[in-house]
């Protein structure tokens, strides 16, 4: 039986996943991290993207996270995300429409605060579209 670590994925609303996994691929701010059992302790920010993991039977699952933090310890990984979406619930048309709305709003010369919010929204929608394309390729 392969070595496992415990994974908790928590959104602002609820505990989304809790269980043993053999590996977790996390979209960290500085790039993807693949965490295995006995990983060196680490805390970092998340960027929008797919969290992919496999259980002890090598069945893979994935969730889209918008932003948040991950804490990695040798025996537990905790992902605290602002928003978590199941991959089956991802909607390409809605993401494209939201991206176009953000682009149009940015073209109208928003205030610096609004510009930063729109930029973050645009980046999230682009990451969501990349995630949808990645899921469909597999």
**What global pTM score does this model have?**
0.85
Closest to 86 measured CA to CA, from 17, 133, 29: 17
Which range among 10-14, 77-81, 116-120 shows the weakest confidence by mean pLDDT?
116-120
Contact yes or no for 77/7 (Cβ under 8 A): yes
Counted residue by residue, the chain has a size of 138
Annotate 40-51 with b (16+ C-beta within 10 A) or e (fewer): eeeeeebbbbbb
Rg (CA), the chain: 16
Q: What tens digit of pLDDT does each residue of 16-65 get?
A: 999 999 999 999 999 999 999 999 999 999 999 999 999 887 889 999 99
Q: Are the beta carbons of 37 and 107 closer than 8 angstroms?
A: no
């Amino acid at each position: 039986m392969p070595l496992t670590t415990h994974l908790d994925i928590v959104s602002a609303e609820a505990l989304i996943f809790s269980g043993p996994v053999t590996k977790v691929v996390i979209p960290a701010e500085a790039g993807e991290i693949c965490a295995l059992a006995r990983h060196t302790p680490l805390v970092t920010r998340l960027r929008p993207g797919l969290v992919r993991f496999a259980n002890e039977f090598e069945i893979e699952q994935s969730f889209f996270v918008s932003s948040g933090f991950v804490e990695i310890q040798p025996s537990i990984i905790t992902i605290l995300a602002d928003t978590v979406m199941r991959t089956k619930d991802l909607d390409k048309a809605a993401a494209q429409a939201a991206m176009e709305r953000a682009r149009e709003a940015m073209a109208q010369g928003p205030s610096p605060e609004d510009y930063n919010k729109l930029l973050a929204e645009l980046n999230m929608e682009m990451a969501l579209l990349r995630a949808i394309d990645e899921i469909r390729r597999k």
